[in-house]
Structure 1
């Protein structure tokens, strides 16, 4: 018996190690699958190369906002300080996600002892949703670390198991930790306190006020600990601390019709849902089949299996189950999904599976109830084994499809160069949120200068930003007219920092003058653009060459342009001035001491 147990344990460890290696390799193949993946990696890379504290985390693209807190920057960038290698963030992510999934697997084995263990581990480690998320840096991948203990705690609190595995007091401490963690990574954190509150009421009614106060204190303690990476942001950026994320809360009545879609998406977490993980998304399946015909039959098999799984899991909700807690299981699952549906009425976005990825553990736990009955039969165990093998084969093929363009391997040399030169911009430039644009605008200093016609309003920007976090990445200290910084324009970032003002802030002027210093490096098409517009209508538009003639190359040249304002300008019109090298033109240009004057 001891010998059998020894080899059984050794076999599991070998399988677990192989799974961890495979998951890490797979994550490396899709590191830069899309813009969100790239910018998640950039947050950590910029932290490492600049040493500037990552005050804000994930971008919320549809509202041009950012989630406050340094947690994501530390999770992605921290591993670079341990091992200065492009793959280090992926190794760290796969370690913590593998640990979380393994803990969840141990929990499921405890609750479903008759479920084949090979199926539990194979599903958790290799299912589409745990392979395509939690293996490569993207903010939902890091949510899983907190989602699993949070969901386990909720399940143990709500479902009347004979033996409760997570007691109320440590459970509420865990809940606090998980909420604070998720709050800095994904907007779905708002679901967590709402799902917890009924459990708090149940505990209060069951054990009284003193017990409830203890639970509250423990939850607050856990929350306070996990929010420790948010406090510096609160202190430094109190006025803009939200990062603009409040703009995501809007009444969205169109989501009323999305109930069936939402339920199918939820069941997809526990099925072979693969189409949305294809290069280009589920709408590009035809081009995927054309480019990879060998994977076409495998893909069709998995899509069909995933659809059947989702339908079965929905139907199973209304079927009987021999487990005594089945009623509580259905009630909890339905309540969570109905609440999720209601919450989308106040979200600017339509339901998307990734946006409620934190519920994956709950849906997998629910799915194991009807699947447990099926897996008692040899036929279904064989079918499950075949489908898992097909799924693994598909993901190996998918990895090779991503490898040439989207993998860490294809960007390895560039990332390595960025790390060696301590310049994350070699990989790409970070997105800029609205709150950053607003703070950067303060760099334009307004003064009044006396003239024969009255006071001239002058806006000057010599590109000095006291706050290095919001300093534009287009600024370089290699060449400058007024050290240390000058704004660089090239084919990568082809437009300079802009001057933008509403005309009501200027009130009246008869003449606009723009002065700057330029340092040209083979950029003959570079131009200054000065325009006044209202909506789509240009009220004034002028362009001037900035780098005319080879004699201007390689030295600082002072330039000045001016134009009369020949018509009455409405107060809602916008005045804009910038320098650009219009695509597809090439070259490099630096500008400094940018000045825009309004003469009355």
Structure 2
């Protein structure tokens, strides 16, 4: 076996192990209220053979998101495989492929950060492991968000050349818009990016006209599961979620920190909902305490470094555009919550995860000029150990393993 073949075997093996790891981690979360509600939408459609006209509940306004996509993403895999794990298999194939695609795109754009770190971190960071592996609507949102924003990155003149075919990028935009529209109300953040793309490409009328055709073609694929609902029920009262909410002004610092936490090692959210539950987690598994403390420090450093980098103007032409795009994204998210009935929980703008990750890797280049590779390896291994401790913590009460016979 020559070196080239050996390298391919090792690469495939690493990706396969990461996929299995993510899949098993996903199975550890099943019995939560949100997870069950989403799973039951598809299970009901499967058992009754009735089309799932509506998706997730919107608890603040007692409405449901229109469209059959969410229910079909659960019911079709169960129909095909006949096992409770089937929706998890489909979800993890979709999200693994999307995250690997994001890793490929970033690795082609950023040459001063090791590829192995890009891929492993994107696939194992907390917000990629704890929201894209188990059945919950933000997990499915990630697939559309990655396709959408990779298209934005490619068409937005951040780089001198494009990696994707323009037709494919526009198809991604159309497909992703109506994909996310049926899964989460955060889709309303996407149209401003479409308008911005029209503006930055305003001098290339041929590109925009051709792009419109492929945008429509992409949209037709995902909107096909929305049309039955619109014909039968219209919007289902979703307009009631739009209110003027000045109370969210005080949450602007929280929004900024939570945005950057997508690309950081966030610990508290995933080990418990309050201080007593977090202490209980640590007491049940004391061996993980030093790991948690280490990752907690790294996570705070990451978030602080990302915020600091927003004010660093010196750099390449690419960096300055990436930096300002991130600033405008934060501004858009903050403004959007002035018209939202909900509070700015991280999951409510999870579709911005690809932007946070993309931005973060543009800041890492400077750090990798120092001898930090061994520290990075320790960091990644510590992260995997921490995630395994979460699996153990959830196994008996929250996992599908513990509730499989009931399903």
Q: TM-score range by the shorter chain?
A: over 0.9
Matches within 5 A, 1:189-200: 189-200=187-198
Q: Provide the aligned length of Structure 1 versus Structure 2.
A: 407
Q: How does 1:558-573 map to 2 (within 5 A)?
A: none
- Give per-residue Cα distances to partners, 1:53-109, cap 9 Å, x unaligned: 111111111221110111011111110111111111111111111111111111111
Q: Does 1:114 align with 2:107?
A: no
Distance apart, 1:331 and its partner CA: 1.2
Does residue 376 of structure 2 align to residue 384 of structure 1? yes
Task: State which of 394, 397, 403 in structure 2 corresponds to 1:411.
Answer: 403
| 8 Å CA contact retained: 1:45, 1:77 | yes
CA deviations over 1:199-241 (Å, ceiling 9, x no partner): 112222x123x5434333432332233110011112222xxx3
2:204 alignment partner, one of 199, 203, 207: 207
Retained in 2: the 8 A contact 1:159–1:329?
Answer: no
Aligned residue for 1:393? 385
Distance 1:405 1:64 in 2: 28
1:375 paired residue among 362, 368, 379:
368
> Of 206, 211, 216, which aligns to 1:220?
216
Deviation string, structure 1 residues 181-207 (Cα, Å, up to 9, x no partner): 000001111111111111112222x12
| Matches of 1:283 and 1:68, distance apart in 2 | 38
The answer on whether the counterparts of 1:273 and 1:306 sit within 8 Å (CA) in structure 2 is yes
Change (3 A) 1:283 1:349: farther
Name the counterpart of 1:275: 268
Distance in 2 separating the partners of 1:13 and 1:64: 46
Q: Displacement, 1:406?
A: 0.4
- Provide the rounded CA distance (Å) in 1 between the counterparts of 2:60 and 2:6: 52
Which residue in 2 is equivalent to 1:20?
Answer: 19
Q: Structure 2 unaligned runs (5+)?
A: none
Cα separation, 2, equivalents of 1:48 and 1:21: 26
- The 3 A distance-change label for structure 1 pair 143 and 9 is same
Paired with 1:22 and 1:215, the residues of 2 have a C-alpha distance of 38
Name the counterpart of 1:519. none
Q: Residue 115 of structure 1 contacts residue 376 of structure 1 at CA under 8 Å; is this kept in 2?
A: no
- How do 1:429-448 residues align onto structure 2 when only pairs under 5 Å count? none
How far did 1:23 drift? 0.6
1:343 partnered with 2:307 = no
Match of 1:307 in 2: 300
Pick closer, same or farther for the CA change 1:7–1:145 going to 2, 3 Å: same
- Structure 1 match to 2:228: 232
User: Counterpart of 1:57 in 2: which secondary structure?
Assistant: strand
Question: 2:5, 2:404 → 1: CA distance?
Answer: 41
CA contact (8 A) 1:151 1:362 kept: yes
Question: What is residue 331 of structure 1 aligned with on the other side?
Answer: 324
Contact 2:98 2:143 in 1 (8 A): yes
Name the structure 2 match of 1:3. 2
> Contact 1:105–1:120 at 8 Å: present in 2 too?
yes
Question: Residue 343 of structure 2 aligns to a residue in which SS?
Answer: coil
The corresponding residue for 2:63 is 65
Equivalent position SS for 2:56:
strand
1:517-555 alpha-carbon deviations (Å, 9 max, x no partner):
xxxxxxxxxxxxxxxxxxxxxxxxxxxxxxxxxxxxxxx
Once residues 326 and 273 of structure 2 are traced to their aligned partners in structure 1, the CA distance between those partners, rounded to angstroms, is 32
| CA deviation map 1:102-160 (0-9, x unaligned) | 11111111011232122111101111000001101100111111111111111122233
1:257 aligns with 2:267: no
Among 78, 81, 85, which residue is 1:80 paired with?
78
In the alignment, the residues of structure 2 paired with residue 53 and residue 26 of structure 1 have an alpha-carbon distance, to the nearest angstrom, of: 30
How far has the Cα of 1:288 moved from its partner?
A: 2.4
- From 288, 292, 298, give the equivalent of 2:291: 298
Is 1:319 matched up with 2:315?
A: no
| 2:95–2:133 Cα contact (<8 Å) kept | yes
Q: Secondary structure at the residue paired with 1:297? A: helix
TM-score, with structure 1 as normaliser:
0.66
Structure 2 counterpart SS, 1:190:
helix
Q: Would you say the 8 A contact 2:66–2:229 is kept in 1?
A: yes
The Cα shift of 1:361 comes to 0.8
Matches of 1:116 and 1:31 in 2, distance apart? 35
Is the contact made by 1:63 and 1:248 (CA closer than 8 Å) also made in structure 2? Answer: yes
Q: Name the larger-Rg structure.
A: 1
1:300 Cα shift? 2.1
Tell me which protein shows more helix as a share of its residues. Answer: 2
* TM-fit CA distance, 1:168: 4.1
Higher relative contact order (CA 8 A, sep 6+): 2
1:67 match: secondary structure: strand
| SS in structure 1 at match of 2:352 | helix
User: Partners in 1 of 2:263 and 2:276 — Cα distance?
Assistant: 22
When the two chains are superposed, the root-mean-square deviation of aligned CA atoms in Å is 1.7
5+ residue gaps in structure 1? 416-600
Corresponding residue SS for 2:364: helix
Contact map agreement 1:20 1:98 (CA 8 A) in 2? yes
Question: Which secondary structure does the structure 2 equivalent of 1:66 belong to?
Answer: strand
Name the CA shift for 1:14/1:142 in 2 (closer, same or farther; >3 Å): same
How much has 1:321 moved relative to structure 2? 5.3
Alpha-carbon offset, residue 277 of structure 1: 1.2
